[in-house]
Structure 1
Amino acid sequence: MTRKLILKKREVNVLVSLKWLNTYVTLPTNLDVDKFAETLTMASAEVDAVIKIGQEWDPSLVVTAEIVSIDKHPNADRLRLATVNYGAEDNQQVVCGAPNLSIGQKVAFGREGSELTNPQTGKKQKLKANKIRGITSAGMILSEAELGISDNHDGIIELATDTPIGLPLQDHLGDTILDIHIWPNRPDMMSMVGIAREISAILNNTIQHPLKYNLEASDNNQKIKVLVENENLCSRYIATIIKNVSVGPSPGWLQERLQSIGQRPINNVVDITNYVMFELGQPLHAFDLDKIDGNITVRSAHKDEPLQTLDNLERTLTPEMLVIADDSQPIALAGVMGGKNTEVTETTTNILLEAARFDPVSIRRTSNKLALRSEASSRFERGLSSHLALDATQRAIQLFIEITGATPPDNYVDIHPIPNENHEIQLARTRIDTLIGFYIPTTEVISILENLGFSVKSTTINGGDELFTVQAPWWRTDITIPDDIIEEIVRLAGYDRLPESTISGQIPAWEPNNELVFREEVRDSLVKLGWQEVITYSLTTKEVLQKVLPPEEIEGFDFFRLKNTLSSDREILRPTLRHSILETIERNIRLGANNIAIFEIASVYLSQKNNSLPEEKSLLTGAISGFEINRWGQPTSKPLDFFDAKGTVENLLENFDTKANYEHSEMFGFITGRTASILVNNTPIGFIGELSLDTLTQFGISQPTILFELELEILLNQLKLQKEFLPISKFPSVQQDLSLLVPYSVSVGEVQNVFENSIIVSSAEPFDVYTGDGVADDCRAVAININYQSMERTLSKEDVEKEQQKILKQLKKLYDIHPRF
């Protein structure tokens, strides 16, 4: 059976079976697991969860058993009658509907009265004898779901064939699993032996290393030769021919250990390679030797070279990917997954065992590019020691001889162009005391480091300072500087010994940050207007940017690319927010949203001359998409348009006592005539426009969308930070609505400015645009609400009429604008 633990194992976590761990380091007999987990968290790696399996199973009622016979159910086609031997004098017949039931199977059996988990409710329930389609069934052959191991209810648990009958299942499958978070710089802890080393140092006891088979390396004189084309991508490659392998099921102890950490046993050859990886931390791969054509070459893939991996997917490779190839084709994706063409099957008799040290960056890039994550790639990409490859090879050979009956190999090929480096690090006592803040005796320092596998020498130098000469063990690839060693000392000495002290010194005075305050006020203003803020990734791709930026800008732009990107969709620092907003709108429409009004305030990254660092600009980008809302709060058939978005911009600026002017503009991806530059004090601060159908189609958006963009730093510089009081007129105003025929070449903002330049016009607000019957094709009818008001006297009808005629003459002279009526 495969144990699918309820707690999902994350990429940088390992599952550790205490039963398995106890074979390497002796744990206390009456171990308090929760306290032990806390100790491990404080001194080494964080234990995210403790999973206790089997403690609730009654040892007398939940036992191991064997299926001795199977008969058809007389009243049901999908049910069968299984006779079970569970170690009692008489066998028990039960009704079972599991598809994987077979005679001779070793299974988990729950007798009447046992407390089991109901898969439908997830609650505990006592097992009672029941009639199922007329046949009494007093007991149950159990799946993982009934035992509470996982929610898998597809079939019964299949135990190893050598499992004793009548044994309490608690003794056979019961275990405690630690879910341990591993830091990216500690690949040595992604193994049982690695965790055992840490625990032995914490408990100050010895570690029992697994048995290995010692053999000599050959000078590439085996029947198969190995060529490594790029030593920087593969600093070590060990190949061993192992003959006369008998492929079959793994022994029970091996299956049980793999199952305890959520791994599915496959066959003894594959299980051994997986077992050694989880035991020592070194990924291995077994090729069917007889399927290899010629010799082995570790090389970069050819462009568009095909490879079917073990997951049965056809993959197209690129030259950035490292492959293992024979004389005719790739046979594995180095460090990630093997190829289907050299897969070990039941007919395999000879294998080629691979153990290597691949470049971490190359493996991670390949894994991300193909969206192919594996246990092997997660280890290689953290930087394994090349020494580990030999240890794992020797351990695997020992298991192949014991389990598969293989002939012991005479030698192996070891291509090791870049040898192990093992530097000595000088560490001064004064540095330890300064960094830690308390004194740790020399004997304790040496004891801690030696327990962790370091070699240490202590000497006294001129001036009386003590100097430690430290050499890290080969598996500690993360130790490079003195402070790394000090971290090792303090974590095992105990963080609780760090002295407590209050903050000393004067707290610095608060200094205002106008930019930060302004951004928060902008956010608040837009939220009050009913808009929603989004936060999107600052990384994108050139292909996405081509949808929103003109080709000449794309070609001339020096993009900032990540060297080691986590995803092929996130490789370039974005120079605009437009694509992010449009991607968010598309996603919301696809999920059923009708009306969308979103904005983002974030940095964009632009290239600078003679500077390798980008220029960061703070932008506000917002967009609306949808339909107008009626008085009952329901969307109408009229789409939101340019003026709805423009109204938001004007409301936003009014909160800062600022008005904007709008000038006709043309922008890539926007509709000509529905796009305008936004100016404050004649300074451009951004633009607003309706996106073209072509742009919307590229993002999968099928409804009109209007987008605006403001440069916040420029806008802030144009604002009056100190607000001025403007007196309010005590005289009544006169309001008039006027419809004007405005040519398309003239912006409405220009018309508005002419009105507002009048000394007695307090405001002029356009409120409607009409095109159609009665209006010439080269213009549109713009309706404007004009507010006349004087600070000195009440205006008469004649005053207003006189001023209006004066303004109309000016409009006709400047722009050839006439009243519509």
Structure 2
Amino acid sequence: MKFSLNFVKEFIDLKESPQKVANLLTMAGLEVEHIYREGHDWILETEVTSNRPDWLSIVGIAYELSALLRRKLKVKIPRLITKPLLKEIDIIIEDKEGCPIYLARLIKGVKVEDSPSWLKHKIVACGINPVNNIVDITNYCMIKWGNPLHAFDFDKIEGNVYVRRAKKEEKFTGLDGKERILTEENLVISDERKIIALAGIIGGKNTEVDQNTKNILLEGAIFSPVRIRRSRRAMGIETESSYRFERRVSWERLKIASQEAVNLILSLGGGKLYGCIEKGRRPQRKTRRIVISLPHLENYLGERIPKQEVKTILTYLGFQVEKVYKEKLCLKPPSLRMDVSYPVDVYEEVARIYGYDRIKPTLPFIPKQIYSSFYQFKKVLRDFLISLGIKEIITYSITSQSLLEELKEKNFIKISNPLRQQENVLRPTLLCGGIEAVKHNLNQKAFSLKFFEIANIYFKEEKSYKEKANLAIAFSGERNQAFYLKGVVREVLRFANIKDYSWVPTEKANFTNALDIVKDSQSLGFLGKIDSRLKEKFDLTEDLYFAQIDLEKLWEKREPRYFSPFSRFPVVFRDISIALKEVKFSQLEEIIKKEAGNYFKGVEVIDIYQGKKIPPQIFALTLRVYYQAQDRTLTSLEVDAMHDRIRKILGEIEGVILR
């Protein structure tokens, strides 16, 4: 942005040289790239960051210099005048998302002519060519207050004014004389028959204010930054107006800029204000209150700044210090500073104005134990899963609200300033990324998928926000993946030394045949198969089996490990073939473990069959039981006697058939 130093001096007394002013602004974050003399004035060219639209105005720069130099401002706010517009025209906002509010003022009997020299100089110094007194006044008010305005020739408007989306391949000719073919993404201003402006970007040639104009309609509005950005990119045109609308404009300043424009038009162009019309809904911003802690500020900056100096800096920046506690300040940020929402934002403001060069550099404190035990646990668990042949995936923690609605998730956290509107919430489950990763790989003709991810999920708990480390495991593309997944989960539980847990069938949204992993009446996680609805919704060509485990609960429920010496004697195994109907494997395992006593080494499923010659709902399994003694080699007679006793006990269980 280019601005005139003489223009700024109208609002603040400046005795400093232009070079010093440039240096002050640069050190405070508003980088001055060029400075040069033009007659009796100095012109400064600045690079404005996207989060500071208040710097896109002369008054905003004056506020910044006021805080840096601790000097009072001389800004006069024009008295706001409102009159009804009666029945001469109406404003219809069809796209309320694209245009929340629209303000129009009708002035009749104006005389369009060249602007006075003072007005021309001010807008030329800021890089804008003069056109006529009416257009120059709108540009002057935009430069001064930061809010774009536009003047239409009222007599060229046919009927009411509409704020709507363009129709497909609708044509529009701008003030630059170029004809453009629009799309349905473009937000436009139109009357009953034609488009009269590309909203927030450029006015139309068909309603241009010229020497014959007698009556004008002065437009002031708030447009969606996202919509203006898309429209500007699609049309390949950038203007001073679009540059400001993309960075958000203030409703409070819009009213002021519009009223000052009316006052100047009546003064320089004559005429009479016939009335105003305001349509839409004024921005209902919550009254922001930020409480900052002075000890926290000191810890953040590495230097203690006196309380009075902190108050002075914030007051000059436009903050209202409402309450002062012993070591805390309760603040109300200025309405223009939409980038200030949290205490850390205030700390940055204090540091900028106080001066980064005044803060003494200190070396950071490095603790002896860099990583916590829980961090080490996650690191070793990651290596363990990789050793099982499972590939690690890393997915985004930000996802879309529409995806979570498909997953029937309600407890999620919305992001207040998302980079993309399509990705505006933090994930409350790792299923979001898991299902997308599986879909992508299946579409690339990759099968036999085995993925895991260790990452945080985010959710609301009462009035606070929480994040927890979770483990997700996703399998797809092969037969018996359900049993394989359960086996991997068992290995994870064994790795964490979790004992005396149970598998509890549960009803879970998005899953069939879901099981909860329960220990001490608490769920550590779950596993199951994605239901047919989700499979069809995401167009998955294979079944997806998914498990999610709360690693913090897993860490909490782990049991101490005790070393027991390895047996020097051989392991002996025997097989048991059975058929099961509605019997848990964990029940069989407990019985085998109890009956084998100290000789029990382990049990596993080595074969599963379900099909011909086996009734529905019945599984034919072959279990392999391992026996081992610590002090001697077990004889065949001992093992056979023990094994036969276990077979007999298993055969007496309802739902178990020996084969």
TM-score (norm 2): 0.64
1:532 paired to 2:392: yes
* Change in CA separation of 1:693 and 1:537 when aligned onto 2, cut-off 3 Å: same
Amino acid at match of 1:662: W
Q: Is the 8 A contact 2:439 2:538 kept in 1?
A: yes
* Change in CA separation of 1:712 and 1:813 when aligned onto 2, cut-off 3 Å: same
Q: Distance in 2 between matches of 1:723 and 1:329?
A: 81
Query: Deviation string for 1:474-529 (max 9, x for gaps)?
Result: 9889999xx999998975564433567899xx999989976666555545544555
Amino acid at match of 1:732: P
1:188 paired to 2:47: no
Amino acid at match of 1:385: R
* Change in CA separation of 1:180 and 1:479 when aligned onto 2, cut-off 3 Å: closer
1:623 paired to 2:473: yes
Q: Is the 8 A contact 2:392 2:451 kept in 1?
A: yes
* Change in CA separation of 1:410 and 1:395 when aligned onto 2, cut-off 3 Å: closer
Identify the range of structure 1 (567-576 vs 766-775) with the bigger mean alpha-carbon deviation.
Answer: 567-576
Q: Distance in 2 between matches of 1:588 and 1:269?
A: 60
1:283 paired to 2:148: yes
* Change in CA separation of 1:225 and 1:786 when aligned onto 2, cut-off 3 Å: same
Please list every run of 5 or more consecutive structure 1 residues that lacks an aligned counterpart in the other structure.
1-15, 53-174, 318-322, 402-406, 419-429, 455-471, 628-637
1:785 paired to 2:624: yes
* Change in CA separation of 1:439 and 1:203 when aligned onto 2, cut-off 3 Å: closer
Identity fraction in percent:
23
Offset at 1:294? 5.4
- 2:490 aligned to which of 650, 664, 686: 650
Query: Deviation string for 1:745-791 (max 9, x for gaps)?
Result: 22334333333332222101223323334544442332333211123
Matched position secondary structure for 2:541: coil
Matched position secondary structure for 2:253: coil
Amino acid at match of 1:613: K
Q: Is the 8 A contact 2:572 2:627 kept in 1?
A: yes
- 2:206 aligned to which of 311, 326, 345: 345
Q: What corresponds to 1:586 in structure 2? A: 439
Offset at 1:277? 3.8
Higher radius of gyration, 1 or 2: 1
TM-score (norm 1): 0.53
* Change in CA separation of 1:692 and 1:655 when aligned onto 2, cut-off 3 Å: same
Offset at 1:337? 2.9
Offset at 1:332? 9.8
Q: What corresponds to 1:747 in structure 2? A: 584
1:699 paired to 2:558: no
Q: Distance in 2 between matches of 1:739 and 1:484?
A: 68
Q: Distance in 2 between matches of 1:278 and 1:586?
A: 51
Query: Deviation string for 1:118-148 (max 9, x for gaps)?
Result: xxxxxxxxxxxxxxxxxxxxxxxxxxxxxxx
- 1:354 aligned to which of 196, 215, 218: 218
Amino acid at match of 2:149: L
Offset at 1:200? 9.4
Q: Distance in 2 between matches of 1:384 and 1:744?
A: 72
Q: Distance in 2 between matches of 1:647 and 1:615?
A: 34
Amino acid at match of 2:182: N
Matched position secondary structure for 1:581: helix
* Change in CA separation of 1:226 and 1:216 when aligned onto 2, cut-off 3 Å: farther
Offset at 1:807? 1.6
Q: What corresponds to 1:719 in structure 2? A: 558
Q: What corresponds to 1:106 in structure 2? A: none
- 1:771 aligned to which of 610, 619, 628: 610
Q: How many residues align structurally?
A: 573
* Change in CA separation of 1:475 and 1:393 when aligned onto 2, cut-off 3 Å: farther
Offset at 1:814? 1.0
Q: What corresponds to 1:688 in structure 2? A: 527
Q: What corresponds to 1:547 in structure 2? A: 406
Matched position secondary structure for 2:432: helix
* Change in CA separation of 1:192 and 1:25 when aligned onto 2, cut-off 3 Å: closer
Q: Is the 8 A contact 1:540 1:572 kept in 2?
A: yes
* Change in CA separation of 1:274 and 1:514 when aligned onto 2, cut-off 3 Å: farther
Q: What corresponds to 2:40 in structure 1? A: none
1:41 paired to 2:26: yes
Amino acid at match of 1:643: F
Q: Is the 8 A contact 2:415 2:426 kept in 1?
A: no
* Change in CA separation of 1:539 and 1:614 when aligned onto 2, cut-off 3 Å: farther
Offset at 1:811? 1.8
Q: What corresponds to 2:116 in structure 1? A: none
1:601 paired to 2:439: no
1:728 paired to 2:566: yes
Offset at 1:708? 0.3
* Change in CA separation of 1:746 and 1:493 when aligned onto 2, cut-off 3 Å: closer
- Report the RMSD for the aligned CA atoms in angstroms: 6.3
Offset at 1:597? 0.8
Identify the range of structure 1 (657-666 vs 597-606) with the bigger mean alpha-carbon deviation.
Answer: 657-666
Amino acid at match of 1:602: N
Q: Distance in 2 between matches of 1:257 and 1:569?
A: 37
* Change in CA separation of 1:241 and 1:576 when aligned onto 2, cut-off 3 Å: farther
Q: Is the 8 A contact 2:141 2:257 kept in 1?
A: no
Query: Deviation string for 1:576-613 (max 9, x for gaps)?
Result: 44234323433455577654513243234356xxxx52
- 1:808 aligned to which of 642, 647, 650: 647
Please list every run of 5 or more consecutive structure 2 residues that lacks an aligned counterpart in the other structure.
36-42, 114-119, 173-180, 233-241, 283-293, 320-332
Matched position secondary structure for 2:539: coil
Q: Distance in 1 between matches of 2:507 and 2:82?
A: 72
Amino acid at match of 1:547: E
Offset at 1:389? 1.4
- 1:497 aligned to which of 351, 358, 381: 358
Amino acid at match of 1:642: A
- 1:613 aligned to which of 453, 457, 463: 463
Amino acid at match of 1:436: I
Offset at 1:799? 1.7
Matched position secondary structure for 2:554: helix
Q: Is the 8 A contact 1:539 1:572 kept in 2?
A: yes
* Change in CA separation of 1:235 and 1:520 when aligned onto 2, cut-off 3 Å: farther
Q: Distance in 1 between matches of 2:80 and 2:637?
A: 112
Q: Distance in 1 between matches of 2:638 and 2:479?
A: 40
Offset at 1:717? 3.6
* Change in CA separation of 1:798 and 1:701 when aligned onto 2, cut-off 3 Å: same
